[in-house]
Structure 1
């Protein structure tokens, strides 16, 4: 009996220490768990810095492969949490899969309709061709969720180029003065049935037009293209297809970047004015005849002050070209949350 009270007293003295020890161990375990978890999180983040929207190129346009090493969208274009892949084994993990129409049309590539498709995955139909050149799209009914093209009504609009406002008005563009030709045209796909061919044939009766490209058997290298065009007062930015909003590199690169005033033939003037300054180009349709157009061009050459008006827009804008497929596709990510969840195209024609 005498030992009982002492034992009970000792137990009562130990209980606060046990409680403290248990609290200490619990806090230590929680801290350790948080530390390990945080370390694991940072390791995962370091290994997969872009864990966000994953876009899979099912195939590369025209078979030209691009390097996807590193955080391409963030490092090159400032777009975070956007992962580009071209490994088809990642199909089930992709948020979007991009299919370029040319390879589908030529049957060089086939849609993965035999694979189990995640319910939330969106298929993107990509084409920068004008509708008359696309062909039959009936086989793609009820397969694609999004369209990607130059057209402003596409879900993702990817123009051939655009004008970027300068931060301040700077006259950093020097009007080329080494002009030796009235006009020039670079053309390879020349077809007599095209309207542009008829306009050219009439124009050259009055105007001195230098022709380059496979049609003239005078091919130009990439390095020689812009310097050659820069020696011309005007560049014939004639599209091979007249279709709404179809404005290609013929305007953005060949004319604007060379320093020649573009004479355009393609969609209506309003479509050009939607993307370029109204005094940055001359539209064929503004004239009653090709002869009137030629007369106007020759008069401009004789009047430098009026000719130079077509360059004043460069004080406020610069030209941005889109040539890299990675950049085009990276631009999907900032729009991703805006896409409707249930959209599907029965008819792809815009």
Structure 2
């Protein structure tokens, strides 16, 4: 046969083989392509600037992403003997939360639980809870498969204020897109969460008495060593309903003659004397204790229970008197030691506030009254006997209440059902309503929230 004819035959065979391969690949990949196309449209519809909100076309895409049936409550059976507590439970962190490095919880207190970020383990029999972060690099990309087990807890986890979690970069995080009753539980700094997780440890009295991070535990020595007036550390200048307002308030106080050393990204003209990596070091706390006051101004105003490390770590634990702004006074009183802070809303004007702070700075006796809580008993304060956050979640997975003061080992060894309660048996009707719609107007600060 002529070489050209051989070549044409070979080329024809190659072409037909390629056509058959493409057809086969399309048929095999068609279901996956549908999901990818749907999620791509999902991202396009959630970009900032979308005017239509949840459009009718997007409703169709959402039905492809999420199961259409309602999720029934998780069912647990209360038993006389908690045999189930002798096995380890896995908690899957669905989102790659870069700052969260924990891999386990204290088994003697919380129960046998491990943590993983490996999504492929979601259907494993030992994966008892899936925790989905409200603010992550993969906004609104939760588990979408219909294989969800009914004995698995889906937990909505939030560590930032509602205003801060409205957007992640270019994308709007519209919690209203979660189907009703998708979540079984909530975990956040709010005290009405299923699993309460304060942003900082509440047992500040115990931390002081144990000289955590070498903080000064002797109150008389602490107060005698103070030689500077006030300190403010702020690097978030624009995100949050009070991010800009707190900078303006601080400037008003400075203009009225109050002495404040201000550091952070919002004050680039002044270099902080220690590297950022020292923020958790004993050197950092030795630097802090020289000051009498700390500006514990949060980035969000009147967000329920939003009280951060500025109050608990940089002020109370470090030995400074916090000047607070952010949460309501009632929220602070609920978690703080008695007479441990000055709230700006107790004053009619900024001038009245400055006048009172200057009075405290000159009057040693009046100033010292704000530190008497350091001499109290740690068991008298809010957090005594309670478990929080992932520890409370782990105990719940083993059928133990967060309010039970006993260790997990004591409960298990006692084999008594008196204090063993069923794990969470509920669904959250709408995390969008719970997290955003029912929040204060000041917390969201003019940002339009669907459902208001």
Give TM class, smaller chain. Answer: 0.7 to 0.9
Aligned equivalent of 1:209, options 230, 236, 260 = 260
Query: Hey, what's the Cα distance between the residues in 1 that align with 2:111 and 2:153?
Result: 20
Deviation at residue 345 of structure 1 after TM alignment: 3.1
Deviation at residue 67 of structure 1 after TM alignment: 4.2
Q: Determine if the alignment matches structure 1 residue 54 to structure 2 residue 90.
A: yes
Question: Compared with structure 1, are the counterparts of its residues 133 and 283 closer, same or farther at alpha carbon in structure 2 (3 Å cutoff)?
Answer: same
Bigger shift: residues 81-90 or 127-136: 81-90
Contact 1:280 1:313 in 2 (8 A): yes
Pairwise mapping of residues 76-155 of structure 1 onto structure 2 (< 5 A)? 78-92=109-123, 93=125, 94-103=127-136, 106-107=137-138, 110-114=141-145, 116-135=147-166, 136-142=174-180, 143-155=182-194
- 1:177 alignment counterpart: 224
- 1:197 alignment counterpart: 247
Pairwise mapping of residues 1-350 of structure 1 onto structure 2 (< 5 A)? 51-62=87-98, 64-68=100-104, 72-74=105-107, 78-92=109-123, 93=125, 94-103=127-136, 106-107=137-138, 110-114=141-145, 116-135=147-166, 136-142=174-180, 143-161=182-200, 162-163=202-203, 172-174=217-219, 175-191=222-238, 194-205=244-255, 206-217=257-268, 218-219=271-272, 220=274, 221-222=278-279, 223=281, 224-242=283-301, 243-317=303-377, 328-336=389-397, 337=399, 338-348=422-432, 349-350=434-435
Contact 2:103 2:116 in 1 (8 A): no
Contact 1:62 1:102 in 2 (8 A): no
Classify the secondary structure of the residue corresponding to 2:110: coil
Query: Hey, what's the Cα distance between the residues in 2 that align with 1:63 and 1:234?
Result: 29
Deviation at residue 108 of structure 1 after TM alignment: 6.3
Question: Compared with structure 1, are the counterparts of its residues 264 and 342 closer, same or farther at alpha carbon in structure 2 (3 Å cutoff)?
Answer: closer
Contact 1:50 1:81 in 2 (8 A): yes
Query: Hey, what's the Cα distance between the residues in 1 that align with 2:231 and 2:90?
Result: 44
Contact 1:265 1:284 in 2 (8 A): yes
Contact 2:195 2:389 in 1 (8 A): no
Classify the secondary structure of the residue corresponding to 1:215: coil
Q: Which runs of 4+ in 1 moved over 4 A?
A: 169-172, 317-320
**Structure 1: any 5+ residue segments left out of the alignment?**
1-44
**Post-superposition CA distance 1:180-227 (Å, at most 9, x none):** 221110011124973212211111122110011122233443234322
**Structure 2: any 5+ residue segments left out of the alignment?**
1-82, 167-173, 211-215, 400-421, 436-452
Deviation at residue 291 of structure 1 after TM alignment: 1.1
- Across the two proteins, how many residue pairs are aligned to each other? 290
Deviation at residue 340 of structure 1 after TM alignment: 4.3
Query: Hey, what's the Cα distance between the residues in 1 that align with 2:157 and 2:395?
Result: 17
More strand by share: 1
Contact 1:141 1:347 in 2 (8 A): no
Deviation at residue 115 of structure 1 after TM alignment: 5.4
Tell me the C-alpha RMSD between the 2 structures: 3.1
**Post-superposition CA distance 1:59-81 (Å, at most 9, x none):** 3423654445xxx4316xx3223
Contact 1:164 1:317 in 2 (8 A): no
Q: Which has the larger radius of gyration?
A: 1
Contact 1:280 1:310 in 2 (8 A): yes
